[in-house]
Structure 1
Amino acid sequence: MGKIVAVCTSPQKGMRKKNVGEGLLVPEHGLEGDAHTGTWHRQVSLLALESIEKMRQQGLDVHPGDFAENLTTRGIDLVSLPVGTRLKIGSQAVGEVTQIGKECHHRCAIYYQAGDCVMPREGIFIRVLEGGPVKVGDDIEVLA
């Protein structure tokens, strides 16, 4: 079982996200108020704090949301989860892993600062099956 360490949103795509501390996961839509919501397979993005730490070890001053992830987690190996895995997020929400990593068509500011970015390799995406509130400190666990 892991923990949610940040809940992040942005008003536009292509921006770093801000940790807002809490939010609402909406079924078949995503994180309420975020630019990436919609009826597609990448409704919510997740990145492990452990991945962010890798970038910090390269000398970057980066924080949750800087890689445009919606949920930053700790204590769960996200990239080892196969597509189709279900995750319980907080007390009510359930998400299904739809994609591991992504192709970056445009190199982000982090890439230009460090020569690398972890989100394309270590970020995952889910669609929201069951909605509910999510906040910093909530549990995130693998269901199946």
Structure 2
Amino acid sequence: MTGQVTAVSRNETYSFSKPPRESIRLLAGLGVEGDVHAGETIRHQFRMTYEPDLPNLRQVHLMHEELFGELARKGFEVSAGQLGENITTRGVDLLGLPTGALLRLGEGAVLEVTGLRNPCAKINDFRPGLLGEVFALDPVSGEFTFKSGVMAVVRQGGIVRPGDSVEVENPPLPHRPLERV
């Protein structure tokens, strides 16, 4: 599976959205250089208060651009970086990836997918009613489907820019489905 990076974003301070950039630098074992969520241990503002020493499995947030079209059809205008993602992609089924899938970006950066982004209530502060559109309850299984992207850690650093390719390398079988991280 091959896709494309359509936008990259980062923010030095805690804020819901991240401004788009011309490029970002991924740092192995840390995340996006200059981003508030970069680090070896957890950097999620709320989780740091009770789990400050946990490994940071949320170094990089990726979101599929196709979600923006789905949301627009429901009356929600959203663009790259506004939901807090670092990398926006097109043509990659991010939500269908298994845990441990590798994403090769551009000329050498490698991310390992760790799990699904757990959407938070702040999404409704950004656009009232949006939280209900980024996850859904499966009527058969009773399980939630999360649509707000995936989280990853940086295995190999590098520069990532809009227009870069995204190549997926799945881990060996058996695959483990993504869970919230």
TM-score by length of 1: 0.91
Partner of 1:18: 19
Q: What are the superposed Cα offsets for residues 80-135 of structure 1, whole Å, 9 maximum, x if unpaired? A: 0011111101110111011123152x332245254535288121000000001100
CA distance in 2, matches of 1:111, 1:98: 27
Q: How does 1:104-119 map to 2 (within 5 A)?
A: 104=120, 106-108=121-123, 109-114=125-130, 116-118=132-134
Larger Rg: 2
CA distance in 2, matches of 1:107, 1:16: 11
Instruction: Please tell me whether the aligned partners of residues 79 and 124 of structure 1 are also in contact (alpha carbons under 8 angstroms).
Output: yes
CA distance in 2, matches of 1:34, 1:2: 24
Identity across the alignment (%): 34
Structure 1: which amino acid aligns with 2:19?
K
Structure 2: which amino acid aligns with 1:66?
Q
Q: What are the superposed Cα offsets for residues 24-76 of structure 1, whole Å, 9 maximum, x if unpaired? A: 11000111111111111110000000011111111122101111000000000
Partner of 1:36: 37
* Partner-residue secondary structure (3-state), 1:112: coil
Further displaced range: 38-47 or 7-16: 7-16
* Partner-residue secondary structure (3-state), 1:38: coil
Structure having the higher strand fraction is 1
**2:80 is the alignment partner of 1:74:** no
CA distance in 1, matches of 2:13, 2:87: 16
**2:124 is the alignment partner of 1:98:** no
Aligned Cα root-mean-square deviation (Å): 1.8
**2:152 is the alignment partner of 1:126:** yes
Structure 2: which amino acid aligns with 1:6?
A
**2:167 is the alignment partner of 1:141:** yes
Structure 1: which amino acid aligns with 2:166?
I
Instruction: Please tell me whether the aligned partners of residues 7 and 88 of structure 2 are also in contact (alpha carbons under 8 angstroms).
Output: yes
| Displaced runs of 4 or more, over 4 A | none
Instruction: Please tell me whether the aligned partners of residues 85 and 97 of structure 1 are also in contact (alpha carbons under 8 angstroms).
Output: yes
Q: How many residues align?
A: 143
CA distance in 2, matches of 1:53, 1:110: 17
